Amino acid sequence: MIRLEKRPQPSRALSLSTPIMAVLATFIFGGLLFAVLGKDPVEALQTIFWQPLFGEYAFYYRPQLLIKGAPLVLIAIGLSLGFKAGIWNIGAEGQYIMGAIFGAAVGLAFYPAEGWYIFPLMVLAGALGGWAWAMIPALLKVRFGTNEILVSLMLVYVAEQFLASMSLGLLKNPEGYGFPGSRNLQQYASAHNAELFAGSGMHWGVVAALIAVIFAYVLLTKHRLGFAIRVTGEAPRAARFSGVNPARLVLFCLGTSGLLAGLAGMFEVSGPSGQITIDFNVGYGFTAIIVAFLGRLHPIGILLAGGLMALTYIGGDIAQSNLGLPAAAIQVFQGMLLFFLLALDVFTHYRLRFGAAEAA
Amino acid sequence: MDLSAINPLLFVAGFLVAATPLIFAAIGELVVEKSGVLNLGVEGMMITGAICGFATAVETGSPLLGFAAAAVGGAVLSLLFAFLTQVALANQVASGLSLTLFGLGLSALIGQSYVGIKPPRLGDIDFGPLADIPVIGPILFTHDIILYLGIALVAGVWAVLKFTRAGLILRAVGESHDAAHALGYKVKRIRTAAILFGGACAGLGGAYISLIRVPQWTEGMTAGIGWIALALVVFASWKPWRALLGAYLFGGITQLQLNLQGAGVAIPVEYLAMSPYIITIIVLVVLSADKSAAPASLGRTFHASN
């Protein structure tokens, strides 16, 4: 009989290696999935993970890695702070949308004026939009004890409807021949989040993501607030005795994650995507949850996990056009990754014991 | 705006239909939470049930077989959650989220070849002369068997939880898994059974959307109903009949906003479509002050050596 025995201390080595084992397990079962779909599994995996980095057209795909990875990392960093403390913001998708709408609205309000101050104002507005949207579940939780998981998620659907309303109404391009969607910010120099070096994929969102990684790292390792976050997650009672204010922590964690998600949306709408449209959001807010867990809620880990997840998006696109692999297969692949990670994580906290069974 | 365009009889009959997916998902989740487990994967299990039921009904031509397949599909997916939380002792919130993300992807993958198809129709039960009674007849006696099954399920869950030994054990496990364990009850087995029941119910609810309410298959068609069902369990303070009441309330709101959209009210469509979600939030706020009804072990991982 096999049973689990709790380790006195979580294993550090296993904690670091489970993400890698989860990725390997996902390769194997993902490969099986591709085989079931009638694709050569080796070719499919090679297309997804090798071609974007080292294939013939890698020069085109590598910049995409930054473009897709930046919003994932930016959002996941914010989520990880809350997740560490047991505060579950799963509505980042909605905050991302609101950030984009606020940012774009400020930019469009200035159209066609040009000025250096327009883009910084848009950044502020985007951050404010995401922050304000996350403050709704935060304030309700602090004031009324409302479950932040359900409220933040409900607000995603509200934000999606708001996005539809904006792209069909207030923010619609007056010169767009009646098509839904706003003006293209890429054609408005003062509002365009252009590449900092042509062809590199490096835009202000990437810079913001890197700053967020450093900020989170310093916060968690050097700052009292980071300590409060970690203690609250591991021992809520101990945290209260050590003087942590739970309400302030909820406001901080939800507010920061909303702010970062809003920034991600704003950089996306003013850069790679260019305009507010009905289907502007593509699920980064949900994928970022996987990124946060895959990165072990650690800033550096999240950076790496964000890169890997960006790779599955890009490689998935290539596999879709070259091999006819359905887009949903990549979604399943990403879901599987989180599944294996959670399953394998048991060995970080428990060890296997072979021996006499105990009633359980 | 012409509110007289809304036929009250059709409206009431319609909201019973709109409420049924919620009833199934909420009553299933209620049992799961009564056993002390929080499964946030309801949305994922519903959408999986929706496509399993749809595909089976289309392939076999039998809607009832479709519903059976939906229950199996939801239960199989929930088995993944049971494995994660009961065997691998993973965090329930994260596991539930992974189930939802995985289920949404899986259903989209299975559903690719079923877009734009009409499923076989499940006929209404023939109540004979009862259906001809004015007002009550068209409201109560013109539905399919699954709708009545939903109401029967609520009654069944209520009776089992309140009057039977099995219900007592389930509640004991949810209130204090350590005490239940000390008494010799197999906590993990009982919880796994509850999770499977919840999965099957969510699957049925999903299939009711794709086979009867809409009826067709589109990606992500459950559109948050699984999450509203989770909110409903809180709303109901973990009481079956209140869950039914809540489901009718939300069914009514959903139906009303659809009817208002149809009647051409001056409020933009998008704002009407937001309303069920906003009302869910408001209801959660109003009712979240009282948490005393929640099972005491809800969301906590059980390990015998702790």
Distance from CA of A117 to the nearest CA of B (A): 33
**What residues of chain B, 229 to 288, have a C-beta less than 8 Å from chain A?**
230-231, 234, 268, 270-271, 273-274, 277-278, 280-281, 284-285, 288
CB contact under 8 Å between B88 and A342, yes or no, is yes
User: Considering its fold, how many domains does chain B have in total?
Assistant: 1
Would residue B181 count as lying in a domain? yes
Would residue B299 count as lying in a domain? no
* pLDDT above 50 for B306: no
For residue B101, the chain A residues in CB contact (below 8 A) are 286, 289-290, 331, 334-335, 338
Confidence bin at A356 (pLDDT 50/70/90): low
Q: How far is CA B146 from CA A55, A338, B130, in A?
A: 53, 34, 18
Q: What is the pLDDT of residues A330-355, one digit of tens each?
A: 888 888 888 888 888 888 878 877 76
Domain ranges for chain A: 1-37+326-360, 59-324
CB contact under 8 Å between A338 and B273, yes or no, is no
Confidence bin at B305 (pLDDT 50/70/90): low
Would residue B128 count as lying in a domain? yes
* Domain span holding position B89: 3-287
Closest CB to B303: pick one of A6, A145, A157: A6
For residue B285, the chain A residues in CB contact (below 8 A) are 140, 144, 146
Judge contact between A138 and A250, C-beta under 8 A.
Answer: yes
**What residues of chain B, 60 to 89, have a C-beta less than 8 Å from chain A?**
80, 83-84, 87-89
CB contact under 8 Å between A360 and B105, yes or no, is no
CB contact under 8 Å between A328 and B97, yes or no, is no
Distance from CA of B288 to the nearest CA of A (A): 5
Across A118-143, average pLDDT: 92
CB contact under 8 Å between B288 and A168, yes or no, is no
Find, in chain A, the residue whose alpha carbon is nearest to that of B82.
A343
Confidence bin at A214 (pLDDT 50/70/90): very high
**What residues of chain B, 116 to 175, have a C-beta less than 8 Å from chain A?**
none
Closest CB to B112: pick one of A136, A293, A328: A328
Would residue B294 count as lying in a domain? no
Can you give the pTM of this predicted structure? 0.88
For residue A150, the chain B residues in CB contact (below 8 A) are 227, 230-231, 234, 280-281, 284
Model pLDDT, residue B291: 67
**First-to-last CA distance in chain A?**
12
Q: How far apart are CA B119 and CA B108, in angstroms?
A: 17
Across B234-263, average pLDDT: 84
Find, in chain A, the residue whose alpha carbon is nearest to that of B288.
A146
CB contact under 8 Å between B94 and A293, yes or no, is yes
Average pLDDT, chain B: 84
**What residues of chain B, 29 to 58, have a C-beta less than 8 Å from chain A?**
40
Confidence bin at B173 (pLDDT 50/70/90): confident
Higher pLDDT, B49 or B257: B49
* pLDDT above 90 for B148: no
Distance from CA of B101 to the nearest CA of A (A): 6
Judge contact between A32 and A166, C-beta under 8 A.
Answer: no
Confidence bin at B185 (pLDDT 50/70/90): confident
Judge contact between B271 and A161, C-beta under 8 A.
Answer: yes
User: Which of B274, B300, B302, B306 would best serve as a mutation to test chain A binding (most A beta carbons within 10 A)?
Assistant: B274
For residue A88, the chain B residues in CB contact (below 8 A) are 93
**Beta bridge partners of residue B93, listed in sequence order:** none
Confidence bin at A190 (pLDDT 50/70/90): confident
CB contact under 8 Å between A149 and B270, yes or no, is no
The share of chain B scoring above pLDDT 70, in percent, equals: 94
Domain A59-324 carries which CATH code? 1.10.3470.10
Model pLDDT, residue B1: 46
CATH of the domain at B190: 1.10.3470.10
Find, in chain A, the residue whose alpha carbon is nearest to that of B229.
A150
Higher pLDDT, A175 or B29: B29
Average pLDDT, chain A: 85
Between the CA atoms of B290, B291, B295 and B301, what dihedral angle is there, to the nearest 10 degrees?
170
Lowest mean pLDDT among A52-66, A90-104, A262-276: A52-66
Would residue B293 count as lying in a domain? no
Q: How far apart are CA A260 and CA A126, in angstroms?
A: 9
Neighbours of A357 (CB within 10 A): 8
Would residue B121 count as lying in a domain? yes
For residue B304, the chain A residues in CB contact (below 8 A) are 358-360
Would residue B297 count as lying in a domain? no
* pLDDT above 70 for B34: yes
Would residue B98 count as lying in a domain? yes
* pLDDT above 80 for B141: no
Distance from CA of A7 to the nearest CA of B (A): 11
Across B136-141, average pLDDT: 70
**What residues of chain B, 195 to 214, have a C-beta less than 8 Å from chain A?**
none
Distance from CA of A127 to the nearest CA of B (A): 23
Find, in chain B, the residue whose alpha carbon is nearest to that of A286.
B101
Closest CB to A338: pick one of B98, B219, B289: B98
Across B72-90, average pLDDT: 90
User: Which of A36, A37, A97, A146 would best serve as a mutation to test chain B binding (most B beta carbons within 10 A)?
Assistant: A146
